[in-house]
Amino acid sequence: MAEKTKEQIKIGGIDETKYSMDTHLIYGKSVSDKWDYSHHVTAPISSSTTFRLDSVERGAQGFMQFANTEEFGDKAPIFIYDRLGEPNKDMLEENLAYVEKGEMAVSFASGMGAIAAVLGILTKPGDEIISHNTLYGCTLSLLSNWYPRYNIKWSPFDLTDPANIYNFVTPNTKVIYFESPANPNLEIIDIEVVSKIVKELNKDRSEADKIYVVIDNTFSTPFCQRPIEHGADFVVHSLTKGIGGFGTDMGGAVIGRKKFQDVLHLYRKDFGAVLNPKSAWSILTYGLPSLALRQRHQIKTAVRVAEFLNSHPKIEFVNYPGLPNRKGYETAKKQMIDFNGNFAPGSMIYFVLKGATPAESKEYGIKFMDYVANRAYTMTLAVSLGHTRTLIEHPASMTHSVVPPEKLAERGLDAGGIRLAIGLENPDDILLDLDESLKVI
């Protein structure tokens, strides 16, 4: 191995721990074993599906080391083929693990790729997954449409009361899965309490029968909430949203304990949902370094918008984790905390239009959305979130259209419910557009 240059020693010698997380998001790890890019200010895009091996022996060594951290530790990897690992993904993963306070991260092609992977490594036929009854639409579809084919049972119930776990858990339960705030109604679940209950239950279970707590932290981003600090085993992300931040790339990640890194790598190798290196590079270069700045602006705007909506006569109620008097406010205050210790209630708002009947509310929802789609400059009718632009959608007719109308309430949804994902605009302009648009109903 070549001797380190003076610059490398200097860079490697910096005590990174004394700097804040906001700054870490920009610099990441100043030196990575994954690749020596210490002379680039911005990491280069590595775009190579396959890697040259100096000898058969090096190839053999590479295959031996792959997904074998127990024996080989985390030493500089021998890259073989993109699907097994390559520099851009690996560098992004190091930074994601760091910011989520996990021991390791494994990236995937999309958020759903990451969710399917973590559930895939934790379950087998005969097992059971318990979840909150309100979930991201495709996660709901994965659990209700696909898993029964593999004889993996799904039991949804109201996790806002964590004591319910005692009533629903069975010897076959392997995973407790939820989002907090939940999509799309922003219900809050107490991560610490759920994790404590599961720890208690695990005391009487063998290693193979342990229950794992998996949390989809997409809505909060690690800026607002780090579930592993509150006792969760795994965090999953759609990097497509707030972490990516610009709506240009899809991606996903699973973050958790080191001992699951190998099996996640093996799963990713064989199921194939690998993150495109160019997308990994974008998220590493643009998404993470701007995360704190974007989130701080979006939270400030979201607080103002939520307060405006909350006092509007045409609105039944607003769910925003930062509004006092809403159910879950105290829990949100406890667990949604930014890197500097401030309450960080996020950039998502859910509000419900008034209507005499659910049918009328839904009709108002459609009318309002159609007006917004054509006349509002600062709100775009589109799914997704964590974008530079404020995005707005009507779950009952869009993201959650898989839920039959008579089951909306069961899934925690309202016919007139609107999901608003705040962007980077001037907040005054969003308020102007909302005020105008609400006049049509």
Ligand X SMILES: *Cc1c(COP(=O)(O)O)cnc(C)c1O
Contact flag: residue 179 with ligand X (CB under 6 A): yes
Stretch that binds ligand X, among 109-117, 365-373, 374-382, 418-426 (CB under 6 A): 109-117
**Which 8-state DSSP code applies to residue 403?**
S
Nearer to ligand X by Cβ, of 78 and 189: the residue is 189
Distance CA 60, CA 62 (A): 5
Contact flag: residue 393 with ligand X (CB under 6 A): no
Distance CA 357, CA 117 (A): 41
Is 104 exposed, middle or buried, given 0-12, 13-18 or 19+ CB atoms closer than 10 A? buried
Nearer to ligand X by Cβ, of 362 and 419: the residue is 419
**How many other β-carbons are positioned within 10 Å of the β-carbon of residue 341?**
7
One character per residue 111-130, x = contact with ligand X (rule: CB under 6 A): xx------------------
Distance CA 294, CA 290 (A): 6
Nearer to ligand X by Cβ, of 142 and 434: the residue is 142
Nearer to ligand X by Cβ, of 80 and 186: the residue is 186
Among 46, 95, 173, 218, interactor with ligand X by CB under 6 A = 218
Among 107, 110, 225, 295, interactor with ligand X by CB under 6 A = 110
Quote the radius of gyration of the chain (alpha carbons, Å): 22
Looking at residues 16 to 45 of the shown chain, list those that interact with ligand X (rule: CB under 6 A).
none
Is 151 exposed, middle or buried, given 0-12, 13-18 or 19+ CB atoms closer than 10 A? exposed
Stretch that binds ligand X, among 96-104, 146-154, 233-241, 342-350 (CB under 6 A): 233-241
For the bound state, the minimum distance from the C-beta of residue 59 to ligand X, rounded and expressed in Å, comes to 34
Nearer to ligand X by Cβ, of 79 and 351: the residue is 351
Is 55 exposed, middle or buried, given 0-12, 13-18 or 19+ CB atoms closer than 10 A? exposed
Contact flag: residue 185 with ligand X (CB under 6 A): no
Nearer to ligand X by Cβ, of 252 and 427: the residue is 252
Nearer to ligand X by Cβ, of 69 and 141: the residue is 141
Nearer to ligand X by Cβ, of 111 and 162: the residue is 111
Cα–Cα separations (whole angstroms), residue 76 to 11, 33, 42, 62, 72: 18, 5, 20, 10, 10
Is 304 exposed, middle or buried, given 0-12, 13-18 or 19+ CB atoms closer than 10 A? middle
Looking at residues 296 to 355 of the shown chain, list those that interact with ligand X (rule: CB under 6 A).
none
Contact flag: residue 233 with ligand X (CB under 6 A): no
Q: Which residue is nearest to ligand X (CB)?
A: 111
Is 279 exposed, middle or buried, given 0-12, 13-18 or 19+ CB atoms closer than 10 A? buried
For the bound state, the minimum distance from the C-beta of residue 99 to ligand X, rounded and expressed in Å, comes to 18
> What's phi and psi for 213, nearest 5 deg?
-95, 120
Stretch that binds ligand X, among 48-56, 80-88, 116-124, 215-223 (CB under 6 A): 215-223
List the end-to-end C-alpha distance of the chain, in Å, as a whole number: 70
Contact flag: residue 240 with ligand X (CB under 6 A): yes
- If phi > 0 it is left, if psi is from -120 to 50 it is alpha, else beta; for residue 384 that is left
Q: Please give the residue ranges that form the binding site for ligand X (CB under 6 A).
A: 110-112, 136, 138-139, 179, 183, 216, 218-219, 238, 240-241, 250, 252
